[in-house]
Chains A and B, each alone.
Chain A
Amino acid sequence: MREDLSFLARDNFPTLLTTLQEAGYHTVGPQLRDGAIVFDTLNSVDQLPKGIHDQQAPGSYRLEKSDSPRLFAWANGPQAIKPYLFTPREVLWRSQRSKTGELNFSTVEPEVKPTAIIGVRPCDIAALYLQDKHFLQQEKVDPYYKKRREQLLLIAVNCTHPTNTCFCASTGDGPQAHYGFDIVLTELDDGFLLEAHNQRGGALLEKLPVQPATEAQQQHAEHALTHAAEQQTRQLPGQNLNDALFKNLQHPQWQKIADRCLGCGNCTAVCPTCFCHSEGELAALDGQSSEHHREWDSCFSPGHSYIHGITIRPDTRTKYRQWMTHKLGGWHAQYGRSGCVGCGRCISWCPVGIDLTAEAAIICGEGDKDE
């Protein structure tokens, strides 16, 4: 039995939110909007999706309500942390023409408040660490991302209710969080098991009306997480598919996927690790000022592979191939691991229900498994 785990009774759960608010954090958490669980400003625990369960399948996402008092009895929604750090659209700088005709440039600094996100899943933390590698741990650091990242406090919630499309157990990124959070919760019937991961989380924990977690409570939590892993039926055909995918660039399955694929790019937009963006200029009509912005782009968009009059990947076959070979193959060399954290969003939110795990298995073939 561990001594470092605390128990917060369900009735006392609101203290977690109020403690964060009193500490000056802008609090964000999961809530219902338009038939999905989305992350937005959380003013009260009453906004949390109490008794809500998600039924996900390829191309389908539905919510159901039960009498359960549980707040986190669901797997995930279309987005989580990504839009808070890598914003869908932002102005990076402005230029203004002076009276003498010179151009003056000014950086647009993002306004950032200390933000606490409650209810992030282990898969989303793994994705956050991948985005950190891309935006922070390279020669050039992205100052916009960095500023927001530095203000982030994370209250993770271990996943006890994975859905049909989840496969985090096979990528090693869930259902239990092991890093990246300040405090992690595991929800039980009558309350929450809490564990602080760092000093900040520990200090926060001290302000909450917690008791030491009993052995029975710890066993319940452990059992729930083991069960959550066992429930998952999908998996990728291996941790590192780099060789298997690049050996099969001419596989006929790429075309079969392209026949079904809408090329809409929704898989890339909901993917918590995808970081592609485009930049553009919006000039005022008087020609005296201009805004330079960036926005989410996708390897499925027509401009993504356009270089000097040539579109490198003109059709959906090569676009989908780029998405999968980069995500599951190329990332290993680039970032030291696969770009997939097993959240299953690309499967659920694909309007035609293309299943990344099934397609990867076909393309890599039975004999190419590295496990």
Chain B
Amino acid sequence: MIKPKIAVHKFSSCDGCQLAFLNMGESLLALADRVEIMHFAEAGPVDENASVDIAFVEGSIATQHDLERIQKIRANSAYLISMGACATAGGIQALRNMADTQQWIAGVYAQPEYIDTLDNSEPISDHVKVDLALWGCPINSQQIITTVRDLLFRVTPKPERDKLCLECKRQQQVCVMVSRGESCMGAVTQNGCGALCPSVGRGCYACFGPAEDANCPALANRLEGLGLVDREIAQKFLFINSAAEPFQSTGNKRKQS
């Protein structure tokens, strides 16, 4: 049997999504049995220019070097998966898209001339065709396992689409918004984390990005009713997935008003 070849590439990111592979436990051995890992610098194998069947890409496009690399990776990959909030939506570092990047660099670094960066942090899909997007900050091992298994079965992967609220209710968590007036993004966010924050009594931070048919203006109104001012509401939407619509437009509207 010829094993499918995979690669795990890193762009501008914290490496947290790659841990979804490394934290798999026994499943990592099962994975290594079924695919040939050609490139995964954090785990050992390095062959960045290898031709692969599946490329997992972590991180956003943030430097001139990234721009060139992603084109090569796309050309070398039959199926390309953006992995996590950075690769899929620009990540937390896309907050800089709303600021003057050069001014920040000048303010932070003693020798700003050494910093090579683009003005914006952009998702992989802004630059090359992405076959599948995995949301999450970070993604979890089950997302990888399900995706790889589906692809090995030659089935189109079907990522989670339910809203976080539905999973929160399945777990019978008490709604933090209704019972405590806590601001929670669950009603506009995709499930994926298993309602992690509500399960410890906190509101959702929207790590898994906007849900389909997310009614962000209505949630913004509700957050206002809970006592949040426009600046705070804007920060809720312009956070981990600030560059993703419809978070971006609702956040910007509140930011400007």
A: which residues have CB within 8 A of B? Answer: 33-36, 38, 59-62, 78-79, 83, 88-89, 258-266, 269-270, 282-287, 295-298, 300-303, 314-316, 348-352
Contact = CB atoms under 8 A, between A and B. Distances in A.
Nearest to A260: B218
A314 B212 CA distance: 10
Contacts of B177: 351
Interface stretch (B11-19, B26-34, B90-98): B26-34
A352 B218 CA distance: 8
A301 B170 CA distance: 13
Nearest to A262: B187
B158 to A, nearest CB: 9
A283 B153 contact: yes
A296 B170 contact: yes
Contact of A301 (B162, B186, B222): B162
Interface in B197-216: 201, 212-215
B179 A35 contact: yes
Given A263-B215, A264-B187, A61 B179 contact: yes
B124 interface: no
B191 to A, nearest CB: 10
A286 B163 contact: no
B165 A269 contact: yes
Contacts of A270: 169
Given A263-B213, A285-B30, A38 B172 contact: yes
Interface residues of B, number: 42
Query: Which 9 A-B pairs give the minimum distances between C-beta atoms?
Result: A269-B169, A264-B165, A88-B170, A262-B187, A264-B187, A34-B174, A35-B179, A36-B174, A285-B30
Contacts of B178: 59-61, 348-351
B219 interface: yes
Interface of B: 27, 30-31, 33-34, 145-146, 148-149, 152-153, 161-163, 165-166, 169-181, 184, 186-188, 201, 212-215, 218-219, 221-222
A59 B181 CA distance: 9
Given A34-B174, A285-B145, A269 B166 contact: yes
B177 to A, nearest CB: 5
Contacts of B186: 264
B174 A78 contact: yes
Given A61-B178, A348-B178, A301 B161 contact: yes
A262 B219 contact: yes
B222 A298 contact: no
B179 A285 contact: no
Nearest to B150: A283
Interface residue SS majority, chain A: loop
Given A88-B169, A259-B218, A264-B165, A287 B149 contact: yes
Nearest to B31: A285
Contacts of B175: 61, 78, 266, 349, 351
Contacts of B187: 262-264, 266, 351
A266 B169 contact: yes
A182 B67 CA distance: 71
Given A259-B218, A269-B165, A79 B145 contact: no
Given A35-B180, A38-B174, A264-B187, A285 B34 contact: yes
11 contacts: A259-B215, A262-B187, A262-B215, A263-B214, A263-B215, A264-B163, A285-B145, A297-B162, A298-B166, A351-B165, A351-B219
A296 to B, nearest CB: 5
Nearest to A62: B179
A262 B174 contact: no
A366 to B, nearest CB: 28
Contacts of B201: 34
Given A78-B174, A285-B148, A301 B163 contact: yes
Contacts of A61: 175, 178-179
Contacts of B215: 258-259, 261-263, 316
Contacts of A36: 174, 179
B165 A266 contact: yes
Contacts of A295: 170
- The residue among B27, B34, B166 with the most chain A CB atoms within 10 A of its own CB is B166
A302 B213 CA distance: 8
Nearest to B198: A34
Contacts of B176: 34
Contacts of B174: 33-36, 38, 78
Contacts of A302: 161-162, 212-213
Nearest to B181: A60
Given A285-B145, A301-B161, 5 more contacts: A78-B175, A269-B169, A285-B30, A301-B162, A351-B184
A330 B173 CA distance: 30
A21 B137 CA distance: 46
Nearest to A285: B30
